[in-house]
Amino acid sequence: MTLKPEEVRWVAHLARLECAEEEIKLFTAQLNEIVAYVNQLQEVNTEGVEPLSHCLPISNVFRADEPGVSLTVDEALKNAPARKGEFYSVPAVLE
């Protein structure tokens, strides 16, 4: 599969990119090299190879998700620069 300049223009349009004609030529050549490499990878025999997400047999070690003692509102807001009742008070960002 090779990409045509029209297809590269369409992808650029979808990405909201404005490209000059010489850039379209350059990107077409570069993308065709990438597609050729991917096609080369697809020729590798993967018969009997199970899909994996990591090359080593590792797994994440998570602690049990058990409820614990939480901070009180006063403890949680103790270092807040400003507070409004039981909430942090921050300056408005939008007008």
Claim: this prediction has a pTM higher than 0.85: no
Ordered by where they begin, the domains of the chain are 5-42 (1.10.20)
Give the tokens for residue 14: 């979808």
Digits of tens for pLDDT over the chain (95 positions)?
899 999 999 999 999 999 999 999 999 999 999 999 999 988 999 898 888 877 888 888 888 889 999 999 999 999 999 999 999 998 888 87
| Calpha distance 89→80 (Å, rounded) | 8
What residues form DSSP beta bridges with 84? 87
Percent pLDDT > 70 in the chain is: 100
Cα–Cα distance list, 65 to 5, 60, 76, 87 (Å): 53, 14, 21, 26
Which tokens hold the place of 26? Answer: 């350059």
